[in-house]
Every structure is written in C-alpha cells, then in structure tokens.
C-alpha cells in the first residue's frame, strides 16, 4: 500500500542551528501534504498545509519564517526549522494524500526533534 | 470551527476486558469524515478507520468495533477482549474532506495490563 517516509526519525541539534525534515510519498504522487507538531502527551496540532508548486498555508500562530516548508515535487515536502530553540523540541509528523478523492491520508512515522 | 473531544484522558484495563473509547465531535459541515488512529510508544500513527457522515452503519473489524451516532455526534471505539499490545494512545479525528487537514482530539491513553 501507499507509504509515506519521513526522515530523519530522530535528530538532536544545538540551539541556533537549522534542521530539515523530509516527507516523501513512496508510491503515489502527493499533491498535498500536511505538517503536524505534537508535544509530549498532547494532541497533534496542524502547522501548515503544503501544496505542490505553491506556497504553504500556515495555521494561525505558526511562524512561517521559522518553519519553512517547501513542496517542490509531487513526492517530496520538506520542513526546515530555522534557528531552532529548545522550545521547538517536539515530534513532527507529516501526512500526505494523492489526487484520488477516495484516497485516505497517509502519515509518516514522525521525526523527534530535540534541541539542546 | 471543528472540535473533537475525547473526555477520557487515560484508561487502564486488565487483559481480556472490553473497553470503549469515547469521541464526541462538533462541526457545522454536513459532509465530514471521522477517523480513529492508534499511536503506539514508537510514535507513528496507525490508521484504524475512516467513516463519512452519510454512513452511520456500525463497523466491526476483528476485536475492534465502532459506533457512529450522528444524533449524539459521537463516534465511539470499542476493543473487545483487550490485549497488552492494544496499549497505546488513541486519537479520534475529524475532517471536512476525505483526506484533508484534520482536527484531532486530545487522545486517550489506553493501558492494558496482563
């Protein structure tokens, strides 16, 4: 079945550095991808909607200059956390769907970011 | 605005007990989709079921069953004869499209003890 691959699964970085997280659809073309953030023991909160070939749509309260999203192809969306700070430490998870109206949403395995 | 409420924060049962996880939703859309996901300690989200607003039939899949009632805006999930491997966080989610952005509930942490 359809699979969404997210890389890396874990990353530790120093405060002030930038981290890039990749979300790939492996056997389907993902016209739309979603990026969620999940703090420990909390729910998933939508950060942004990423559409191939256009600018991402950010949810209220999400800093677009801090969380850069690029959806340059139908199989890849990237989330870059710029100038990361400890409060950015979280679990980031992407989801993707293809063009079919009956197609479900597929989630990646998530990326656990720790900023020291 | 959409909202999903999972009132049960944590549930603990002993293996082989049946357990029901509650989900109540709010939406002004006439067409919407409801989902349940399982999130084991490893973190990935495992899709369990999708139900659209026009299909109120209950569904059974093995030990899992779902009760969708539009009259009470509820989409409850029952695990029969629970097993230790069922221990996880379970999320109920709502979307106005089949595969659009979803609003998640706060999750219910289920612990099944041997």
Answer whether A49 sits within 8 Å of B106, measured CB to CB: no
**b/e per residue, B22-35, with b = 16+ CB within 10 A?**
bbbbebeeeebbbb
pLDDT in tens, A10-36: 999 999 999 999 999 988 888 889 999
Does A58 reach chain B within 8 Å, measured CB to CB? no
Q: Which of B42, B50, B98 sits opposite A101 (nearest CB)?
A: B98
pLDDT in tens, B42-86: 888 888 998 989 988 888 999 999 999 999 999 999 999 999 999
Residues of A in contact with B8 (CB under 8 A): none
Half-sphere exposure of A19 (CA within 13 A, CB side): 25
Determine what percent of chain A is predicted with pLDDT higher than 90.
Answer: 66
Measure in Å the smallest separation between the Cα of A61 and chain B Cα atoms. Answer: 16
Half-sphere exposure of B27 (CA within 13 A, CB side): 24
Half-sphere exposure of B97 (CA within 13 A, CB side): 11
Q: Specify the pairing of strand A111-115 against strand A57-58.
A: unpaired
- Residue from B99, B102, B103, B110 to probe the interface with A (highest A Cβ count within 10 Å): B99
Does A3 reach chain B within 8 Å, measured CB to CB? no
- Contact between A96 and A1 under an 8 Å Cβ cutoff? The reply is no
Please, which residues bridge with residue A69 across strands?
A79
Determine what percent of chain A is predicted with pLDDT higher than 70.
Answer: 93
- Residue from A8, A43, A95, A106 to probe the interface with B (highest B Cβ count within 10 Å): A43
Structure tokens at A105: 């949403």
The residues, ordered by sequence, that sit 6+ positions from A1 with a Cβ below 8 Å of its Cβ are none
Residue A28: per-residue pLDDT: 84
Nearest to A106 by CA among B75, B68, B44: B44
Please, which residues bridge with residue A91 across strands?
A38, A112
pLDDT in tens, B33-42: 999 999 998 8
Answer whether A44 sits within 8 Å of B91, measured CB to CB: yes
Q: Which of B44, B50, B107 sits opposite A107 (nearest CB)?
A: B44
Q: Chains A, B: CB contacts under 8 A, how many?
A: 54
Answer whether A104 sits within 8 Å of B47, measured CB to CB: yes
């Amino acid at each position: 079945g359809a699979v969404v691959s997210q890389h890396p699964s874990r990353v530790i970085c120093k405060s002030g550095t930038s981290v890039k997280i990749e979300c790939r659809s492996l056997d389907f073309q993902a016209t739309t991808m979603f990026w969620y953030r999940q703090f420990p023991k909390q729910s998933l909160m939508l950060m942004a909607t990423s559409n191939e070939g256009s600018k991402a749509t950010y949810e209220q309260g999400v800093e677009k200059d801090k969380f850069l999203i690029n959806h340059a192809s139908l199989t890849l969306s990237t989330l870059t956390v710029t100038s990361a700070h400890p409060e950015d430490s979280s679990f980031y998870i992407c989801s993707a769907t293809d063009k079919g109206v009956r197609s479900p949403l597929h989630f990646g395995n998530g990326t656990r970011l720790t900023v020291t | 605005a959409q909202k999903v409420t999972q009132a049960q924060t944590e549930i603990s049962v002993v293996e082989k007990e049946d357990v029901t996880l509650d989900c109540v939703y709010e939406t002004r859309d006439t067409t919407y989709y409801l989902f349940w996901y399982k999130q084991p300690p490893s973190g990935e989200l495992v899709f369990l079921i999708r139900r659209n607003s026009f299909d109120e039939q209950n569904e059974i899949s093995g030990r899992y069953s779902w009760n969708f009632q539009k009259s009470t805006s509820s989409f409850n999930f029952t695990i029969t004869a629970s097993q230790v491997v069922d221990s996880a966080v379970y999320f109920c989610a709502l979307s106005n499209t089949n595969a659009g952005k979803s609003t998640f509930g706060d999750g219910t942490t289920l612990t099944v003890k041997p």
